[in-house]
């Protein structure tokens, strides 16, 4: 199976965001990845809902919203209003993760749980059958253009095994430092969805970079 490519607009040109969304629309990208940061859960602030309203209007691809914020459940109505396909919340930000997952589903979106590099896959055992997807962070969240953490490959293998053993249908998405080299190894380890920021937007031909990742 070819991986779904979810280009991260965190690395797009914010001065000409419409141009980059139109490029994603024309490309072989399956989704568009949207990184919301609050300066509390992560040491950076990206963009919020007033900006994303326009991204949602322009995008012809389903929105893959990654919330790097505390209390993400507070924003379920705002994410729903964008028409998002997936709402990713961090395991580390949700003491009542099971409740949040149900609330996201009740709102008509697909719930995904995201784990930071130091959070073990084994902690997902009691939620894996309830989620549409697990997002494995392969960098510490907060910034684009960081170096891929090698141990992620092992985590993706462990997650693939957990999914097989439990009979879960969950997809595996990986985010951070994904390029053609790390992407190929992630797909071999069992990843279904690849997020790519720098590898797309710093490429001489971003549309071609998406096509190359898609055809790994």
Contacts (Cβ under 8 Å, ≥6 apart) of 187: 3, 194, 216
- Say which entry of ligand DX5, Zn ion, none residue 46 contacts (CB below 5 to 8 A, set by partner kind): none
By C-beta, is 163 or 175 nearer to Zn ion? 175
By C-beta, is 68 or 121 nearer to Zn ion? 68
CB 73 within 8 A of CB 79: no
Dig out the tokens for 22 from the structure. 């139109």
- Say which entry of ligand DX5, Zn ion, none residue 145 contacts (CB below 5 to 8 A, set by partner kind): ligand DX5
Using CB under 5 A as the binding rule, whether residue 66 contacts Zn ion is answered as yes
> Which residues are known to be catalytic?
35, 175
d(CA 178, CA 72): 25
Rule CB under 5 A: choose which of 3, 7, 35, 121 binds Zn ion: 35
Q: Which residue is nearest to ligand DX5 (CB)?
A: 197
Question: Half-sphere exposure of residue 77, counting CA atoms within 13 Å on the CB side?
Answer: 1
Using CB under 6 A as the binding rule, whether residue 10 contacts ligand DX5 is answered as yes
Q: Smallest distance, Å, CB 208 to ligand DX5? A: 16
Using CB under 6 A as the binding rule, whether residue 11 contacts ligand DX5 is answered as yes
Dig out the tokens for 77 from the structure. 């109505």
d(CA 180, CA 149): 15
Q: Which residues pair with 137 in a beta bridge?
A: 175
Burial of 203 (C-beta count, 10 Å sphere; 0-12/13-18/19+)? middle
Q: Which residues pair with 89 in a beta bridge?
A: 67, 113
d(CA 79, CA 81): 5
Using CB under 6 A as the binding rule, whether residue 5 contacts ligand DX5 is answered as no
The binding track of 172-211 with respect to Zn ion, each residue x by CB under 5 A or -, is: ---x------------------------------------
Which region, judged by CB under 6 A, interacts with ligand DX5, from 83-91, 169-177, 183-191, 205-213? 169-177
Question: Half-sphere exposure of residue 28, counting CA atoms within 13 Å on the CB side?
Answer: 17
Rule CB under 6 A: choose which of 79, 196, 209, 212 binds ligand DX5: 196
> Binders of ligand DX5 among 32-51, rule CB under 6 A?
33, 35
Binding stretches for Zn ion (CB under 5 A): 35, 66, 175
Binding stretches for ligand DX5 (CB under 6 A): 8, 10-11, 33, 35, 66, 139, 141-146, 175-178, 195-199
């Amino acid at each position: 199976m070819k991986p779904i490519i979810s280009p991260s607009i965190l690395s797009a040109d914010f001065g000409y965001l419409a141009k980059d969304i139109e490029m994603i629309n024309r490309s072989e990208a399956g989704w568009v990845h949207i990184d919301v940061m609050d300066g509390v859960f992560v040491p950076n602030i990206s963009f919020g809902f007033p900006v994303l309203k326009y991204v949602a209007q322009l995008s012809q691809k389903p929105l893959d919203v990654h919330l790097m914020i505390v209390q993400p459940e507070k924003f379920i109505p705002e994410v729903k209003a964008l028409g998002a396909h997936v709402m990713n919340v961090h395991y580390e930000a949700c003491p009542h993760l099971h409740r949040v997952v149900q609330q996201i589903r009740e709102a008509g979106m697909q719930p995904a749980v995201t784990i930071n590099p130091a959070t073990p896959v084994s902690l997902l055992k009691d939620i894996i059958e309830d989620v549409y997807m697990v997002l494995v962070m392969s960098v510490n969240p907060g910034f684009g253009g960081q170096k891929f953490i090698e141990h992620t490959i092992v985590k993706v293998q462990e997650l693939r095994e957990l999914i097989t053993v439990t009979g879960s249908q969950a997809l595996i998405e990986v985010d951070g430092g994904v390029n053609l080299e790390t992407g190929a190894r992630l797909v071999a380890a069992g990843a279904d969805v690849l997020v790519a920021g720098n590898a797309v937007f710093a490429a001489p031909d971003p549309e071609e970079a998406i096509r190359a990742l898609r055809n790994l």
